[in-house]
Structure 1
Amino acid sequence: MHPPVTDPVLVASLRDDLASSAYDVDGVEDVLGPLAASALHREQALPARRAVAAAVAGKPPSDRDPRATLAGLFLLGEPVARAALDRALPATGTAGAERLGLVAAQGTGDDDEVRAVVDLRPYSSVDAVGDARWWLASDLGELALGGRLSTDHVLGAGGASLTLVQVTVRTPTGRVLDLGTGCGIQALHAARHAKQVVATDISHRALAFAGFNAALNRPGEVELDLRHGSMLEPVAGERFDLVVSNPPFVITPHAGAAGRAVADAIGDYEYRDGGRAGDDLVRDLILGVGDVLAPGGTAQLLANWEHRRGEPWTERVGRWLDEAGLDGWIIQREVLDPAEYAETWIRDGGTTPDREPAAWAAAYGAWLDDFASRDVEAVGFGIVTLRRPVSGAPTLRRLEEHTGSVRQPLGAHIARSLAGHDWLVARDDAALAAAHLVTAADITEERYLTPGAADPNVVVLRQGDGLGRGVHASSPLAALVGACDGELTVGQIVGALASLFEVPADALAAELLPAVRGLVRDGFLEG
């Protein structure tokens, strides 16, 4: 099946029709109801099918709610009458939707069936710039197809895509590279705060979808520069201020001598399998992305990495940072054992143990054997932020695990943390003591006391924004944070606290200043 066609006149007509039909996230939820809409997010279609059937029951096709027609057609893969689609898209019509490559009609009569050949759905998200409300075209998913995906499947905005959207730093910038653009969702978000956006993909099909989505939504004044090729090859020798990538990082066994049957069961999907062994693709991207970063430029990507027996993941991935020669901050958000990982990605391709037991077993076994060949005990998933120093050697090397909830969008918090790091690098302890700091507005203090005790035995400083960190604080540190309102310097506050707690000022400064650095770095205190 061919990807959609970007006809400027028809695309503009489609955009107007979708808006006038209220085919947006709120409109779809309104016609489906919260229960069915929530189930559909979990890939459970039955409640939505019932809601659509109820919305159109007893109504002639030419009088049906456009939202029900479009949701049934594009989200559920159900056939609709041509007259119903003509009503939902009055300017574009079924004929125009056919020319755009969105639908296939069996005939020209009002009651003839029309079926979707792509997924076209409302999209809503919040990034560090603000709200984004668009429509996204991608290939039909398993729910609509009722079977396994094709290997050249172009994915819509899945969970990983939304995560990257929300964690990306959105400072107004010059050139942005979206590496492995897929349907173009990262490029659309980048176009709102960049002067130029280059989007690359190894799939011509994906680039066609990205171009269509850019034309349909017009997210900014930037016109996408779409380029075909693998990884960094299409932009060799160029420099970018920001690189974003949701690359094909899934660790996938390759059948080799095991034969085609096993390969078919595993599924060599372009959107997730970069064709490398293990996590080599992620390693190579971390090592190579610095070549296309401008001084001070940032790269943000999602990635998997292997936990190998006898070697902490922080050491193994940390070596990649050291070899890259970049500032690096890596946050591990999730860890799966090999069996969990295999199950996740076999299901992702549309294979289930009930429907295809032999294919399931073959793929499962191949994944476990592949992990065992490298002594893999687990697989981590996380967020990688890299930065090319403006000059000199890297100053940031941070690898941590944070599996708890976070407050999205995280991009603004990451930007503040990077700025806090830079602020600290430029200041020794004397300069830090002379600084006027302010406690961030989202910080609260928790005190835990033994019943009847006058003083708390535990004080926790809690961050409401960003990563939601909790820091165990001594009484002097908690008092210092409470006193940071910008009036007194850190040194003056330390001096006052030394008198209050009856301890030498130098000793208290030696205790508190390193902790203050950590609080500035993590956004508890602001310069």
Structure 2
Amino acid sequence: MWRGLLAAFGRGEFTVDGVASLLGAAARAALDRGETTPARRAVRGAGDAGTLVRLFLLGDPVPRAEAASALAPADLDEAIGAGLLVDTGGQVTAALDLRPHGDASIPDAAPWWVLSDLEVGPTTRTADREHVLGTGAASLSLARAMVRRPVDTLLDVGTGCGVQVLHASGHAARLTGTDVSARALAMARVTAALSDVEVELLAGPWLEPVAGRRFEQIVSNPPFVPGPPQVDHVYRDAGLGGDGASALLVGALPAHLTEGGVAQLLASWLVTSDDWTERPRTWLAEAARTAAPGGLDAWVVQRDVADPALHVGTWLRDAGVDPASPEGTVLSERWLDYLAGEGVLAIGFGFVTLRRTAPDVPGTVVCEDLRQSHDDPLGPEIEAWLDRTAWLAGHPGDALLDARLRVPDTVALERGLVSTDEGWDPVAATLVRLDGPQWRHDVDELGVALLAGCRGHLPLRDLVDLLAVAHGRDPEELAVAALPVVRDLVHHGMLVPAGGPT
């Protein structure tokens, strides 16, 4: 049947580009907002192509004859028997979500299709326990953050319907996915088959199916939602309580990485003090022990923070439960009681990137907020961060003073001025990266002068010495003060080695 569907999708141009062309920009944008009428109007009289859009993207009932024509050469009754469609008495509706998908960053990629359960919401339906998510915001954010450098082996932990496997197929030679849900694995097999992607799919919890194996890259969109220690929905709840799923994976993944291997996952952490990094740093300390004999580089990026009430309401709605309904009220009380008992002030959400280093290379751990607007894919920035961290590891301590550095063209200096009787007096200077995450660093006047000399011609040591002479400062004391600032600027791509971009 699936081979027949592929033929039907090709003939009906049921692909990302084909649907976009059929709908037009305005109707496509409206559909992305959940407004179906413009799309419905756009496909009137569009024949089999319009029927496929109505059936699978709009959720409309379609007369059997029209559905049979659009799906040919696949057999309509076989599709109904397989659970893809349901016969409602002369008409057919979709029982599962099957939609085209793509990745513009992979050149010449073949069309993809993703099979998952139908979307849920308070006005439609509530998620079942074994509900399988499709191409949601979280899965797409991880795909956009994925490091895309060529690797031989890649593991997707908690593969769900197989979205991450598709996005990894452009750079990984051998793909493996694991999931505790048999239903999810069945859908992932269909997703891979329709999309002509070969993947090894293994059943079991967490990393048990790949015990003793190591991979060059690991990605995971796990059931990371902090809540009571129970499983109402497999895609969301780990049953470990609180942020146990994130803690488990961060601690366990390094042991499954090859030397130089990179793991990336979506994670949440309970914020129980003024320092949101407290819990992630505890996990990373355990992760560093499991990485032995190598070290561990880690970058924890906090993208969002929610208070407990917002957190609970968000995830109840995500499962199709209205928080104001009788069921929602009971669940809200249970969740909020649990979080209060754990002393939770807020819940943080973001990305964790881990890299297993060589035995003689000490690891670097950085936790930082990235809640500012950032529309670009995060993946290239993560790749650059890994490169910059490796470069800094090769220049430990005072060795950094021998490096020639430059300020890239994508960095600007902003000055704050206040009005005085004599005119405008400077009160602040901020270094700003104009691309990527648009990092900002406040710098003093000595820092401004030092950066002005970073043109890639002189070693940092000579620049510090010249600055010390010009300002009557001790060169050693100035170097001690400058080194941590310079390291931070290199980490954020605001200073780069003179030999080329990093």
Native 8 Å contact 2:266 2:352 kept in 1: yes
Aligned match of 1:409: 377
CA spacing shift, 1:218–1:56, aligned 2, 3 Å = closer
CA spacing shift, 1:218–1:499, aligned 2, 3 Å = farther
Deviation at 1:441, TM superposition (A): 4.0
TM value normalised by structure 2: 0.87
Q: Percent identity?
A: 39
Aligned match of 1:231: 206
Native 8 Å contact 1:33 1:51 kept in 2: no
Native 8 Å contact 1:125 1:133 kept in 2: no
Aligned match of 1:436: 404
Native 8 Å contact 1:238 1:292 kept in 2: yes
* Distance across 1 between alignment mates of 2:407 and 2:113: 40
Native 8 Å contact 2:155 2:219 kept in 1: yes
Aligned match of 1:3: none
* SS of residue matched to 1:361: helix
* Distance across 2 between alignment mates of 1:493 and 1:15: 63
Aligned match of 1:78: 60
Native 8 Å contact 1:55 1:65 kept in 2: no
CA spacing shift, 1:131–1:166, aligned 2, 3 Å = farther
Native 8 Å contact 1:407 1:468 kept in 2: no
TM value normalised by structure 1: 0.83
* SS of residue matched to 1:300: strand
* Distance across 1 between alignment mates of 2:122 and 2:52: 13
Native 8 Å contact 2:40 2:58 kept in 1: no
* Distance across 2 between alignment mates of 1:373 and 1:132: 50
More moved, 226-235 vs 469-478: 469-478
Native 8 Å contact 2:269 2:279 kept in 1: no
Deviation at 1:362, TM superposition (A): 0.7
- Structure 1 stretches lacking a partner, 5+ long: 1-6, 256-266
Aligned match of 1:312: 275
Which amino acid letter does the alignment assign opposite residue 385 of structure 2?
S
Corresponding residue to 1:162 among 123, 129, 140: 140
Deviation at 1:240, TM superposition (A): 1.2
Aligned match of 1:149: 127
CA spacing shift, 1:20–1:509, aligned 2, 3 Å = farther
More moved, 511-520 vs 480-489: 480-489
Aligned match of 1:380: 348
Native 8 Å contact 2:15 2:101 kept in 1: yes
* SS of residue matched to 1:488: strand
* SS of residue matched to 2:142: helix
Corresponding residue to 2:150 among 149, 172, 175: 172
Counting only pairs closer than 5 Å after superposition, residues 405-484 of structure 1 correspond to structure 2 as: 405-451=373-419, 453=423, 456-484=426-454
CA spacing shift, 1:215–1:481, aligned 2, 3 Å = farther
Native 8 Å contact 1:406 1:466 kept in 2: yes
Aligned match of 1:260: none
More moved, 76-85 vs 201-210: 76-85
* Distance across 2 between alignment mates of 1:513 and 1:132: 48
CA spacing shift, 1:133–1:305, aligned 2, 3 Å = farther
Corresponding residue to 2:239 among 271, 275, 288: 275
Matched, 1:54 2:20: no
Matched, 1:520 2:495: no
Which digits, 9 at most, give the CA deviation of each residue in 1:16-63, with x for residues without a partner? 443443333454345445555344334x3xx31x22443455x4xxxx
* SS of residue matched to 1:296: strand
Native 8 Å contact 2:30 2:39 kept in 1: no
Deviation at 1:227, TM superposition (A): 0.1
More moved, 272-281 vs 489-498: 489-498
Counting only pairs closer than 5 Å after superposition, residues 189-228 of structure 1 correspond to structure 2 as: 189-218=167-196, 223-228=198-203
Corresponding residue to 1:364 among 327, 332, 335: 332
More moved, 118-127 vs 294-303: 118-127
Corresponding residue to 1:286 among 250, 253, 271: 250
Native 8 Å contact 2:121 2:319 kept in 1: no
Native 8 Å contact 2:121 2:321 kept in 1: no
CA spacing shift, 1:290–1:458, aligned 2, 3 Å = same
Aligned length: 488
Deviation at 1:15, TM superposition (A): 3.3
* SS of residue matched to 1:316: helix
Aligned match of 1:262: none
Deviation at 1:177, TM superposition (A): 0.9
Aligned match of 2:291: none
Matched, 1:343 2:313: yes
Aligned match of 1:489: 459
* Distance across 2 between alignment mates of 1:234 and 1:15: 31
Which amino acid letter does the alignment assign opposite residue 76 of structure 1?
L
Native 8 Å contact 1:122 1:134 kept in 2: yes
Matched, 1:322 2:309: no
Native 8 Å contact 2:63 2:91 kept in 1: yes
* Distance across 2 between alignment mates of 1:195 and 1:25: 24
Which amino acid letter does the alignment assign opposite residue 62 of structure 2?
V
Deviation at 1:495, TM superposition (A): 4.4
Aligned match of 1:117: 95
- Structure 2 stretches lacking a partner, 5+ long: 289-295, 498-502
Which digits, 9 at most, give the CA deviation of each residue in 1:247-298, with x for residues without a partner? 111123257xxxxxxxxxxx71111111112212221222222221222222
Deviation at 1:334, TM superposition (A): 1.2
More moved, 237-246 vs 23-32: 23-32
Native 8 Å contact 2:106 2:170 kept in 1: no
Which amino acid letter does the alignment assign opposite residue 439 of structure 2?
R
Native 8 Å contact 1:167 1:408 kept in 2: no
